[in-house]
Structure 1
Amino acid sequence: MKYSLIAVFALVTLFSISCDTQEKQQVASSDLNAIFPKGELGPAENFTGKAWAYSMVPNDTTYNTLVGNVYFEPGARSNWHIHPAGQILVITDGVGYHQIKGQPRQTIKKGDVVKCPPNVMHWHGASPDTGLQQMYIISNTEKGIVKWLHPVSDEEYSKAN
C-alpha cells in the first residue's frame, strides 16, 4: 500500500509538471509574431513603458519618406506627438490603442490601418495585456518628422470613452 501511494503521488506530480509546462508553452506561443527585428529601445522621454523601433527605410531627398516598425510591450505607449506631414500606421500584430486629441480612444489590432492627419496631436501604444507591432510610414519628411509633446496620462490611456 505504501508503494502504491508513492506511485500515485509520483504520477500526479509528473502530470502537474507536464500541465504546467504545456501552459507555459501555450503562453509563449501566444507571443506576437514579429515580422521585423525588435530594433532599438525608444527614449524614455518619448514613451511610457518600453517601445522598440526598427528603421526600414531611412529618410533621404529622393523619397522623403521614413518607414519603420515599432514594438510596444504590453502597457507601453508613445507621448502625445504631432507629425507635420501626417503618419500612416499598419498594425501587423497585437492589440493597442490610438487616439487623436479631442476624439475617443480607438482600439487597434492586426490588419488595421490608421491615418494620423498632418499637424494633429495623437498617441498610440499597446493594450495593458497584449503587445502591439506597428509599421509606420511618414511621407513628405521635408515638412518635418515629429514634434514630441507630453506623456499620455494613465487616465487618458485607460479611458475607453
Structure 2
Amino acid sequence: MIRISPPSQAGTVGKPGSQFSGTAYPYVTLPSTDGVTINNVVFTPGARTHWHRHEHGQILQVLAGRGLIQSQGAPTEVLHQGDTVWIPPGETHWHGAAPDSFMTHTAISLGTTEWAEPVSDDDYTADVGFEKETPA
C-alpha cells in the first residue's frame, strides 16, 4: 500500500547530542517504513554524526555544501554537492560538514542503525588537510 508522509507528520528526530557532534538539524521525511528511514540533515560547519552502521546499508545524497565521510580504517573523503554515496551493510562510518562549510544531505537508511561513540577531532580532520577544530 502506498504511504504518503506529509510535512505535518514529519519532524525532528531525537536529540542531536545523542547522534551528532556539533549542531545538526535532522528532519525525518519518512519514518521507518518496511525498514527504510529517510532523513534530511543540515550540518553546520564542523558538525558530524557519531560512528555508526546500518544493517542493510545507507545511501547519502549531498544536496548542498561540502562535507566529509570516513569508513573505519579508511581515509577521510570530501563530499560535494551532487555526490551520491553508497555505504555497504554493516560498514562503520561517519559523515558531516567540512570545518568551513554547511552541508545538507538526504540519508536513506536501510534496516536498523547502530550508533557508537563520537568521532574524535583527529579522525574528523585526518588526511584532508583541514585545520583541526572543535565544532560549536
When normalised by structure 2's length, the TM-score is: 0.80
Question: Could you tell me the percent identity over the aligned residues?
Answer: 38
* Paired position in structure 1 for 2:90: 119
SS in 1 for 2:100: coil
| 1:108 Cα offset (Å) | 0.1
**Alpha-carbon separation, structure 2, partners of 1:59 and 1:157:** 29
**More helix per residue:** 1
**Are positions 1:101 and 2:72 aligned together?**
yes
- In the alignment of these two chains, the number of paired residues is 118
After superposition, the C-alpha distances for 1:26-46 in whole angstroms (9 at most, x for unaligned) are xxxxxxxxxx9xx63742132
Measured against aligned partners, the alpha-carbon deviations of 1:68-105 in whole angstroms (never above 9, x if no partner) come to 20111000011100111110000000001000111111
Match of 2:28 in 1: 55
93, 115, 127: which one aligns with 1:160: 127
Report which structure shows greater RCO (CA 8 Å, sep ≥6).
2
Gaps spanning 5+ residues in structure 1: where?
A: 1-35
Length-normalised TM-score, structure 1: 0.68
Structure 2: where are the runs of 5+ without partners?
Answer: 1-6, 129-136
Q: Which has the larger radius of gyration?
A: 1
Q: 1:138 aligns with which of 101, 106, 109?
A: 109
Distance 2:33 2:75 in 1: 35
Q: Secondary structure, in 3 states, of the residue corresponding to 2:42? A: strand
For the aligned residues, what is the CA RMSD? 1.7
Higher strand share: 2
